[in-house]
Amino acid sequence: MALTFYWYPKCGTCRKAKKWLEENGIDFNEVHIVENPPSKEQLKDLFEKSGLELKKFFNTSGMKYRELGLKDRLKTASEEEMLELLASDGMLIKRPIATDGNNVTVGFKEDLYEKAWKL
């Protein structure tokens, strides 16, 4: 099954991840995370399958994150509020996100991709 690869083409980390997938012959469908951000329901599904904290889905180095003062807001935000925020703007979502429908990776580290996607 092909991976769904949520990415932002101007993001260097996303480009590295895409190159790794291509070099390893892994079939994937690209989704521009800003033009077509995952819905709240999709994000909830990705979050639940990832085994990560929901806070790990935020792009903490992004301008939008800082502009909205999310560092402090997220400390008391509910899961519902965090999902709403993430779904509202693809630039708030840490990228890339790759999923095969069962497994989910957030961000790119070569060893993480080796374990998750190299069959």
Q: Which pLDDT tens digit goes with each residue over 62-106?
A: 999 999 999 999 999 999 999 999 999 999 999 999 999 999 999
Q: Which CATH class is domain 3-117?
A: alpha beta
User: For the residues 42-66, what does the mean pLDDT come to?
Assistant: 96
Q: Which of 55, 54, 14 is nearest to 34 (CA)?
A: 14
Average pLDDT over residues 16-44: 97
pTM of the model as a whole:
0.95
Q: What percent of the chain has pLDDT over 90?
A: 97
| Structural domain spans, the chain | 3-117
How far is CA 76 from each of CA 68, 102, 109, rounded to the nearest angstrom?
14, 29, 29
What's the pLDDT band for 48 if we cut at 50, 70, 90?
A: very high
Within a 10 A sphere around the Cβ of 111, how many other Cβ atoms? 7
Which tokens in the block code for residue 21? 């997938």
Residues 6+ apart with CB under 8 A from 11: 95, 96
pLDDT at 44 over 90: yes
> 65-86 burial string, b = 16+ CB within 10 Å, else e?
beebebeeebeebeeeebbebb
pLDDT given for residue 118 in this prediction: 86
